[in-house]
Amino acid sequence: MEMSFRWYGKSDSIPLEYIRQIPGMKGIVTAIYDIPVGEAWPLEKIMELKKTVEEHGMRISVIESVPVHEDIKIGLPTRDKYIENYKTTIRNLGKAGIPVVCYNFMPVFDWTRSQLDYQLPDGSTALIYEEEIVQKMDPLTGEISLPGWDTSYKKEELHELFDHYKNVDEEKLWENLEYFLNEIIPVAEEADVKMAIHPDDPPWGIFGLPRIITNKESLERFISIYDSPYNGLTMCSGSLGADPDNDFPEMLRYFGKKGRVNFVHARNIKHTGPKSFQESAHVSEYGSLDMYEIIRAMKDFDYTGPIRPDHGRMIWGETGKPGYGLYDRALGATYLIGLWEAEVKNRQR
């Protein structure tokens, strides 16, 4: 596995100099943030980003994300224009030697939480999700927007989008995803860029909008739409693991053995009720997921691709983007590296 760290570009309060000092850190997961969703990414801008990262002794392991325009997800006639732009971006990323692209197909809202600064017993703060609270939120106010999102919409845009999505149920969303994949994956193959869809977070429908990348069955359906290692998955433990019916290590092993795991997001969460959870420290004893079992699953298919610690808590007085501080994610990274080293050495004995 290649340990990597998400970096939100030059406006990120965490400099690349600090990230490099985390033991075992090889890669950066990042994106270009000032290009409107749907437009093609120019090669020069990609090269500039690549140079910045490489000057700091690391490489770009993954672009997370190249966001998918809503017109593609809704299936509007304008989608073809945006798909052409997406193809240009993939070709340019290929020219720059970027190996993996992470994206998602969630309507309107990316990952969603009910509170960003919930205080845990040790005084740290974490992101939490409580279904009851989310059900009471009004998505049309424009106030639901997380600082880590790649896309968010204004109030007026939200009304229009919700109107469009009235005609998009789960099957329609699958159809639109299939259309997108059939266009995009041949280009990804040619450009040698592995695509890695991110599962829905949380893995169930919210605000009446459909969500389809949620469990083993749907991941199986997804990979069968286009049979290619370039049509792969981001296996995110915190997203899929939020549903206690998902056996995340088993799913990871299963899709890994099929050669479809192109990226791993590793974090722990604690189930606090049906459809409710808290984000916890990465270490197994703090959450509901067995992180050692996740590492073992990755070793079972000799994973060589990128992995990143996912959201961290805010600790030691740090302030910043919720989920994306330096300290707890750095602790998460070194913990995962430790588990991996132990597992590798254990198997060599």
Pairing of strands 27-30, 59-64: parallel
Span of 104-112, 130-138, 243-251, 281-289 interacting with ligand DNO by CB under 6 A: 104-112
Span of 33-41, 101-109, 157-165, 243-251 interacting with ligand DNO by CB under 6 A: 101-109
Instruction: Select which of 303, 310, 328, 335 is catalytic.
Output: 310
Residue with tokens 């703060």: 125
Q: Is 335 in the site for ligand DNO (CB under 6 A)?
A: no
Residue with smaller CB distance to ligand DNO, 318 or 343: 318
Residue with smaller CB distance to ligand DNO, 265 or 282: 265
- Per DSSP, the chain holds a count of helices (H) and strands (E) of 12, 12
Instruction: Select which of 86, 110, 311, 328 is catalytic.
Output: 311
Within 8 A by CB and 6+ apart from 60, the residues are 27, 28, 29, 30, 49, 50, 53, 98
Q: Is 104 in the site for ligand DNO (CB under 6 A)?
A: yes
Over its C-alpha atoms, the chain yields an Rg (Å, rounded) of 19
Residue 127 falls in which region: left (phi positive, over 0), alpha (psi -120 to 50) or beta: beta
Please select the residue that binds ligand DNO; options are 111, 180, 254, 340, rule is CB under 6 A. 111
Residue 324 a catalytic site member: yes
Please select the residue that binds ligand DNO; options are 102, 223, 281, 307, rule is CB under 6 A. 102
Instruction: Select which of 86, 129, 254, 324 is catalytic.
Output: 324
Instruction: Select which of 236, 243, 254, 328 is catalytic.
Output: 236
Q: Is 61 in the site for ligand DNO (CB under 6 A)?
A: no
* Other Cβ atoms closer than 10 A to 146: 16
Q: Is 64 in the site for ligand DNO (CB under 6 A)?
A: yes
* DSSP for residue 238: H
Residue 164 a catalytic site member: no
Sign of CA dihedral 81, 87, 91, 94: positive
Residue with tokens 């639901």: 144
Using CB atoms, what's the residue nearest to ligand DNO? 65
Residue 198 a catalytic site member: yes
Scan residues 305-324 and list those touching ligand DNO (CB under 6 A). Answer: 311, 323
Residue with smaller CB distance to ligand DNO, 103 or 335: 103
Please select the residue that binds ligand DNO; options are 42, 148, 186, 205, rule is CB under 6 A. 148
**Two structure tokens written together for 88:** 């240009």
CA angle at residue 229 from 228 to 230, to 5 degrees?
Answer: 85
Site string for ligand DNO, 239-268 (x = CB under 6 A): --------------------------x---
Residue 102 a catalytic site member: no
Pairing of strands 276-279, 269-273: antiparallel
Please select the residue that binds ligand DNO; options are 2, 70, 71, 110, rule is CB under 6 A. 110
Q: Is 65 in the site for ligand DNO (CB under 6 A)?
A: yes
Residue 236 a catalytic site member: yes
Span of 100-108, 168-176, 273-281, 291-299 interacting with ligand DNO by CB under 6 A: 100-108
* DSSP for residue 251: H
Quick check: helix, strand or coil at residue 217? helix
Buried-state track 257-282, b at ≥16 Cβ within 10 A, e below 16: ebebbbbbbbbbbbbeeebbbbbbbb
Asked if 60 and 49 count as a contact pair (C-beta separation under 8 A), the reply is: yes
**Residues in contact with ligand DNO by the rule CB under 6 A:** 64-65, 102-104, 110-111, 148, 198, 265, 311, 323
Active-site residue set: 198, 236, 265, 310-311, 324
